[in-house]
Amino acid sequence: SLSEMVHSSVSFHQICLNRKQKHIMNTDFQKSLFTFNSV
């Protein structure tokens, strides 16, 4: 059904967003580790 398609695409979009945020958090974490190590 159409509503199922919309729902699945929305959840897929949500998953992509979550992955992006995790990736950003990971790189931020690595940056902070790097700066901490270089001090």
What's the residue count for the chain? 39
Structural domain span for residue 17: 1-39
Instruction: Write out the DSSP string of 1-39.
Output: -HHHHHHHHHHHHHHHHHHHHHHHHHHHHHHHHHHHHH-
How does pLDDT run across 1-39, given as a tens digit for each residue?
Answer: 888 888 888 888 888 888 888 878 888 888 888 777 765
Q: Is the pTM of this model over 0.75?
A: no
- Residue 2: the pLDDT is 85
C-alpha 34/C-alpha 39 separation (Å) is 9
Domain count, the chain: 1
C-alpha 28/C-alpha 7 separation (Å) is 31
